[in-house]
Structure 1
C-alpha cells in the first residue's frame, strides 16, 4: 500500500511505483530556443511529474509558480502562460493529493519553469546536484531564468554529487545530465510498465534526441551533447525517454492518471 492513498487512482494489489504527468503552464517561444537555428514558434508545455512510491510521494520538477498566474478567461501578458488553477498544487489537489504529503522534490535544475512551484510543498526536501545548488544560490546575477525567491524558502536541501538512488531500491535513480546548466540532472523511474526517463531540459524536444540537436543556448555544449548520447543509450536499452517541452509528444501522454 502506498504511504499516501490517491483517491482518484487507488492502488491495486501488486502495484509498484506509479508515475503521473501534469501540464503546469506553457511558454510561447522561438523553436530556436530549443533547436539552434530552427525557424518558427512553438507553444511548449511546462511539465511536472508525481512519483507514487510505497515509501512516499515524490515530485520531479514543480513547474511555474504563483508570480505568473493570470485569472481565468484573461489573456497572457508575456510569453509565459499560467492560468489560475494550473499550478502543480492545484493539479495534485484535483486528484486528491494534499501538497503537504509530498516528501521529496527532485529538481532537474532550478530555472523558474522547473522549480517555480517549490513553495507549494513546505514539508518536502529538495534533491539537487550540489553544483546546481552552488550556481543557483551564488552565481546567477546574469541569468534571469533563476529566481532565488522561488527556491530559497527554508526547505531542506539534499545536495548530491553524481548518481543517487533515492530509496535504495533502484526505482528512482537520479543522475547528472549536465550542459543546460552546471548541475542539471534527470531521473530514471522503474514502473511496472518499464523504465521511464524524465529528462528535464537536457532533452526539451523529441527532435533534440532524435537528431542530436542542441538548443540555442547551452551552459556547456560538449556536456550537453554527452547528456544526449547518454539518453540515447538508455533509449536503446528499452527506456522510454520523456522530453520536457515537446507539445506533440506531450499530447500522447495521459495526464493526472498513472502513466506506468
Structure 2
C-alpha cells in the first residue's frame, strides 16, 4: 500500500432508531430507521488513524438518546469494533474528530496515548455553546474534562493539507468547527463528512432510495424543489455557513456522487465497511 493511499474501514458503534425526518427537515417522519453511530479507521501501512470515538454510554438514558429515540452504543462498542480489525486503543496513532458532539467524542479517554486532532473553533464552541445547543445537550459536559486529561492534543485552525493523502477541511454549520476529511485511496478521493451532512440524502436531496442496516433498500421521498440544493435539518445552527460548507464538501470527492461521501450516521457505510 502506498503511503499516500489509505484504506478506510467504517466501524460500527451502535444505533439510534429514529424517524428519518429528524435528519431530513421533516421529510419521511413516518419512516423509522436504525441510523448508526460510526467511526472510520484510516490505515496506510504505517499509521492507524481513528476518526470519531462514538457516543459514551452515559448519554444513553433508559435505552434512549438524542430526541428521546431508542439507542444502543457506548465505549465497549468502540473497543469491540477495533478488536474486530485486530487492534486495541494502543495501536491508534492519531484520533481525529469531525466535531466534539457527544456522539462523536464519547470515547476520547479510551486513547490516552494517541494524538487527538480537532478544529480550534470546535473547542471554543464546546466551551461556550449556544443556549439551543445546551437545550439539546449536543456537547457532553464531561468532554472538556476528558480533553484536559489527554496528554497529546493539537488544534487545527482552518483547512490543512497533511501532505500524506489526507486533507482536513473546516466545514462550519452544524457546529462552529466542523471538520471534513478528504482521504486519498487507491480508488479515488473519499470525504468523511461527520454530520455535515448527517446522511447523504441531505447533500443529494433528490435521492429516492436508502439502504438499511440489514441491507434492505427502501424508498424515500426526494426533497421538493423549493428546498433548493440541500436539506438542512434542525441541528444546523448557521444556515449561511452550512450552504458554503456543503458547496465546499462537494468539491472534495473524486466525483459528485453519494458513494464518495461517508457520513456520520448512514447505514450503508457500515454495510459496505471497507473503502479503497
Q: Is TM-score (shorter-chain normalized) higher than 0.5?
A: yes
The alpha-carbon distance between structure 1 residues 68 and 236, as it changes in their structure 2 partners (threshold 3 A), is same
Query: SS of the counterpart of 1:90?
Result: helix
1:163 aligns to what? 159
Matched, 1:200 2:200: no
Unpaired segments of 5 or more residues in structure 2?
A: 206-229
Distance 2:93 2:57 in 1: 21
Q: 1:145 aligns with which of 138, 156, 170?
A: 138
Are the aligned partners of 2:56 and 2:75 in contact in 1 as well (CA < 8 Å)?
Answer: no
Aligned to 2:221: none
CA root-mean-square deviation? 2.5
Number of equivalenced pairs:
238
Alpha-carbon distance in structure 2 between the residues aligned to 1:50 and 1:150? 21
Asked if residue 180 in structure 1 is aligned to residue 171 in structure 2, the reply is no
Answering whether residue 91 of structure 2 is matched by residue 97 of structure 1, we say: no
Find 1:222's aligned residue among 240, 243, 267: 240
Higher mean Cα deviation, 78-87 or 190-199? Answer: 78-87
Deviation at 1:30, TM superposition (A): 3.1
Describe how 1:1-260 pairs up with structure 2 within 5 A: 16-38=5-27, 39-40=29-30, 41-67=32-58, 76-78=63-65, 79-82=69-72, 87-139=77-129, 142-143=134-135, 144-150=137-143, 152-153=145-146, 154-155=149-150, 156-166=152-162, 168-169=163-164, 171-211=165-205, 212-235=230-253, 237=255, 240-247=260-267, 249-250=268-269, 252-254=271-273, 258-260=274-276
Name which of structure 1's ranges 110-119 and 229-238 shifts more when overlaid on structure 2: 229-238
1:100 aligns to what SS in structure 2? helix
Larger CA deviation: 122-131 vs 78-87? 78-87
Question: What is the deviation of 1:60?
Answer: 0.8
CA–CA distance in 2 between the matches of 1:148 and 1:68? Answer: 10
Report which stretch shifted further, 80-89 or 126-135: 80-89
**CA 1:124–1:152 in 2, change beyond 3 Å: closer, same or farther?**
farther
- Take 1:227 and 1:63, find their aligned partners in 2: how far apart are those partners? 23
CA shift for structure 1 position 94: 2.4
The TM-score, its normalising length taken from structure 1, stands at 0.81
TM-score using structure 2 length? 0.77
